[in-house]
Amino acid sequence: MKTVRVVVVGAGVIGFSTAVCVAEALPFCSVTVLAEKFSPDTTSDGAAGILFAAQFPDISVERQRRWFKDSFDHLRAIAQSQQSPEAGVMMSSGYQIFKDVPADPKPYWSDLVIGFRLMTDRELERFPGYKFGQAFTTVKCECSSYLPWLEKRFRKAGGKVQQRKVSSLHDLSDSYDLIINCSGLGSRTLTDDPQVDDGDTRSILERCSRLEPSLSRARVLSKWVGLRPGRRNPRLERELVQPRGRKVPVVHNYGHGGWGVTLAWGSALDALGLVRQCLHEMPPQAKL
């Protein structure tokens, strides 16, 4: 079989997770990651990276559970390995607190994390004004370390990276046999605003200090701002585009919003399945 030229557009956590999955599972594919920005300048770099999630309205809970479980199991294995410090992945325990009782007190992922339980009244006394809370142990992923670790793993699998701005997916159709769109949102370009709002920074610190008074005298080491490239539901599907008369399959995997790190590996495995379907349906002349 002739080498299939695959390009992944986007170098955030969704893009590199998808690129690694494809490069490792399909060695006959030559995979390139194309992006204008790489770590430490991606939206993913500023993510808190704590695995929990909200529920998307129009995607089956079963599919969302699969994404969450695959991601959690993947990152938990790293956290419990010798690669944990380099990858920036670790286990973390904490609370999620609410001013009002949520509609679903036990989210769909409650049995997929470790030790999920509802907080006691005594625990909630520590947080005045909050009526409800959940306690659990999950995974924390520092993307400023995890993204370079993923890129290193991608290169080890034979992947290539290229830094350039992509104006249109159609522009890639002459150079690649299959396109994977993980472009997310170029926040700096769209907002034309490289600043951090000092008022927002103070507001965040004040709110956190009300919950945890020991933070009131904390020294701010750095500031970071970014946009969450989200939509009502993530787009994870395939289509066939035909620019310049040549049919090229495109797999879309973007729009995870604030849950990109949480769902990255699971949705990457789903995208890999779509890539396999595209390859299976390619006409013989495209693969010979």
Q: Which residues are annotated as a binding site?
A: 43-44, 166, 228, 257-262
Cα(181)–Cα(145) distance, integer angstroms: 23
Residues 6+ apart with CB under 8 A from 164: 34, 35, 36
Cα(198)–Cα(170) distance, integer angstroms: 40
Cα(20)–Cα(9) distance, integer angstroms: 13
Contact 89, 139 (CB under 8 A): yes
Cα–Cα–Cα angle for 118, 120, 121, rounded to 5 degrees: 135
178's tokens? 């299959």
Contact 206, 219 (CB under 8 A): no
Within the chain, what is the greatest distance between any pair of CA atoms? 68
Amino acid identity of residue 138, one-letter, is T
The binding site for D-dopa comprises: 258
Cα(166)–Cα(11) distance, integer angstroms: 12
Contact 6, 31 (CB under 8 A): yes
Contact 17, 25 (CB under 8 A): no
The binding site for D-serine comprises: 228
The binding site for FAD comprises: 43-44, 166, 257-262
Cα(136)–Cα(159) distance, integer angstroms: 37
